[in-house]
């Protein structure tokens, strides 16, 4: 069979399957009065209303149909993430829309193509942060939050990618890819806040918000580009928040973790001077709904994300976000995860924030905790020590620090010149720093 014939057959099958008569379920419910437990096996439309059908009775072999409104007489008992989301989606309008209007495969395919293009472009630009162990830990949380695929057979696979970006952000694409920035990972305090974040974002995928946004864009004659598809309304955010609280409740977690997650995002954004967070509209008012403050700084989480914090701190410093840089590195120190490079960078941030000799002395003490304790301190530590000593007018000590920096540069130069491969850029940098030492001595 040739390729054209296969494509035509596939399109015909998709067209034929665009409307489903039933959506499979596997959800236990208990009658609130007599305590009888039954299992819901499918959702369908009957007489224009959404109806659920039970599994066949073991004695009579008959199934029972229950109108959605009559489910108020039953307590739903989800036993896993699959049945949890079936409960959530039964209470929403998603199943009813799917049974009434079909699965809109053509539109979903167009949206998935947009996401594929975005992911491909991000890969080409090396925009993703790669840490296999961190990804494995995050996937463990994600699988608690949502199944790999919709149980109602809509297209999409729930996965995640970490974007190398210091701004705290997270969003889910129409194909189920959850994008989380390194800034977002660093903004949170524990894995429960991460669970709240993931549940809130994946809810947009589960509730078909992308499809709604696509239709709304067309109605308003707006280009249904990816950026418009993931820009949710306040109502959609509230719906997703409610889903997140259901997930937290299922795992016995307080709703307040959703509020603390939102507040941490706001606080982090303010350190960057970013008071408007595009993917988190009305974040403050939403956080205020969950007023019980939870301060749960997890040492295990801090150690897990310490490399991400170091990365964000470096990026923050390079973008002149010195307050954020300082806050992040102090967190690594508190968790016992700070590297020598972290401490040197923190001293640099403190120096750039300093307005007094006292603050300069604090920065000096910090960098000297590296230069005086390590046999081979990072070369940049001696450079930073020299800069602070010059600011303090301590000329003799400055000369000593410059000597040690010169020696460290020469050690690095010898090490890289003996390595196989092309290290010309590194060697060129080391030569320029040796020139900086020479110029500094004359000042």
pLDDT in tens, 368-426: 999 999 999 999 999 999 999 999 999 999 999 999 999 999 999 999 999 999 999 99
For 37-80, the pLDDT digits (tens) are 999 999 999 888 999 999 998 888 899 999 999 999 999 999 99
Q: Which domain holds residue 360?
A: 339-441
Tell me: do 284 and 358 sit in the same domain. no
Q: What percent of the chain has pLDDT over 70?
A: 94
Q: Are residues 54 and 113 in the same domain?
A: no
Decide: helix, strand or coil at residue 82. helix
Whole-Å CA distances, 69 to 50, 53, 174: 9, 13, 30
151 and 232 housed in the same domain: yes
Query: CA 353, CA 441: separation in Å to the nearest integer?
Result: 25
CA–CA separation, 231 vs 214, rounded Å? 11
Measured CA to CA, the distance from residue 184 to residue 129 in angstroms comes to 12
Buried b (16+ CB within 10 A) or exposed e, 31-44: eeeeeeebebbbbb
Mean pLDDT of 242-266: 94
Confidence band of 209 (pLDDT split at 50, 70, 90): very high
**Co-location of 37 and 145 in the same domain:** no
- How many of the other CB atoms lie within 10 Å of CB of 426? 15
My answer on whether 64 and 212 are in the same domain is no
Confidence (pTM): 0.91
Query: Residue 298: helix, strand or coil by DSSP?
Result: coil
Query: Which domain-ending residue is among 43, 78, 113?
Result: 78
DSSP assignment of 152-193 equals T--S---EEEEE--SS--EEE-TTSEEEEEHHHHHH--SHHH
Beta strand 37-46 pairing with 49-54: antiparallel
Rounded distance, CA 324 to CA 57, Å?
A: 61
Whether residue 139 sits in one domain with residue 224: yes
Q: Which helix (H) or strand (E) holds 14?
A: helix 3-16
- The alpha-carbon radius of gyration of the chain (Å, integer) is 28
pLDDT reading at 9 higher than 60: no
- Determine the average pLDDT of the residues in 421-441: 95
Strands 74-77 and 65-67, by their bridges, are unpaired
pLDDT band for position 304 (cuts 50, 70, 90): very high
The torsion angle over the Cα atoms of residues 235, 241, 247 and 249, rounded to 10 degrees, is: -120
Question: Do 112 and 238 belong to one domain?
Answer: yes
Tokens of 87: 């409960």
Q: Is residue 306 situated within a structural domain?
A: no
Is the same domain home to 50 and 114?
no
Could you tell me if residue 7 is inside a domain?
Answer: no
Mean pLDDT lowest among 62-71, 193-202, 265-274: 265-274
For the segment 195-213, the average pLDDT, to the nearest whole number, is: 98
Domain stop point among 288, 303, 319: 288
115 and 264 belong to one structural domain: yes
In a domain, 142, yes or no: yes
Question: Could you tell me which residues are beta bridge partners of residue 52?
Answer: 43, 66
Task: Answer yes or no: is 243 within a domain.
Answer: yes
User: How large is the angle between the packed helices 306-318 and 340-353, nearest 10 degrees?
Assistant: 40
Residue 275: per-residue pLDDT: 58
119 falls within a domain: yes
Extended beta strands in 371-412, E state: none
Cα(128)–Cα(135) distance, integer angstroms: 12
- The CATH number of the domain holding residue 380 is 1.25.40
- Count of domains in the chain? 3
46 with 184, same domain: the answer is: no
Would the pLDDT of 362 be above 60? yes
Residues 272 and 128 in one domain: yes
**Distance from C-alpha of 303 to C-alpha of 316, rounded to nearest angstrom:** 20
Q: Kindly state whether residue 123 falls inside one of the protein's structural domains.
A: yes
Q: Does 325 reside within a domain?
A: no
* pLDDT interval class at 276 (50, 70, 90): low
Do 272 and 156 fall within a single domain?
Answer: yes
Please report whether residue 172 resides in a domain.
Answer: yes
């Amino acid at each position: 069979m040739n390729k054209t014939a296969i494509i035509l057959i596939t399109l015909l099958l998709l067209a034929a399957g665009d409307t489903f008569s039933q959506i499979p379920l596997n959800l236990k419910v208990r009658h609130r009065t007599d305590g009888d437990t039954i299992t819901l096996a499918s959702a369908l439309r009957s007489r224009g209303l959404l109806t659920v059908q039970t599994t066949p009775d073991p004695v009579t072999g008959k199934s029972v149909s229950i109108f959605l409104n009559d489910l108020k007489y039953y307590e739903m008992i989800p036993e896993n993430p699959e049945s949890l989301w079936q409960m959530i989606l039964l209470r929403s309008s998603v199943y009813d829309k799917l049974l009434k209007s079909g699965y809109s495969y053509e539109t979903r395919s167009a949206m998935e193509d947009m996401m594929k293009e975005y992911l491909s472009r991000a890969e080409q630009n090396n925009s993703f942060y790669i840490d296999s162990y961190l990804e494995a830990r995050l996937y463990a949380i994600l699988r608690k939050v949502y199944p790999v695929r919709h149980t109602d057979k809509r297209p999409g696979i729930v996965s995640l990618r970490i974007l190398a970006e210091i701004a705290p952000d997270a969003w889910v694409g129409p194909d189920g890819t959850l994008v989380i920035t390194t800034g977002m990972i660093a903004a949170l305090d524990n894995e429960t806040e991460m669970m709240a974040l993931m549940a809130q974002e994946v809810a947009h995928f589960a509730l078909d918000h992308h499809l709604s946004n696509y239709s709304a864009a067309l109605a308003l004659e707006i280009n249904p580009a990816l950026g418009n598809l993931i820009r949710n309304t306040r109502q959609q955010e509230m719906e997703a928040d409610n889903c997140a609280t259901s997930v937290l409740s299922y795992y016995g977690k307080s709703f307040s973790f959703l509020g603390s997650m939102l507040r941490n995002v706001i606080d982090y954004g303010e350190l960057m001077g970013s008071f408007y967070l595009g993917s988190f509209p009305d974040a403050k008012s939403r956080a205020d709904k969950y007023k019980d403050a939870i301060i749960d700084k997890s040492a295990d989480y801090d150690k897990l994300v310490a490399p991400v914090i170091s990365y964000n701190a470096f990026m923050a410093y390079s973008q002149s976000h010195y307050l954020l840089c300082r806050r992040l590195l102090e967190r690594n120190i508190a968790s016992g995860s700070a590297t020598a490079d972290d401490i040197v960078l923190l001293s640099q941030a403190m120096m750039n924030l300093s307005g007094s000799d006292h603050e300069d002395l604090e920065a000096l003490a910090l960098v000297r905790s590296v230069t005086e304790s390590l046999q081979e301190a990072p070369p940049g530590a001696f450079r930073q020590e020299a800069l602070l000593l010059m600011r303090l007018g301590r000329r003799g000590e400055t000369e000593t620090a410059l000597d040690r920096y010169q020696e460290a540069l020469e050690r690095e130069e010898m090490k890289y010149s003996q390595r196989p491969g092309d290290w010309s850029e590194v060697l060129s940098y080391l030569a320029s720093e040796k020139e900086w030492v020479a110029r500094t001595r004359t000042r």
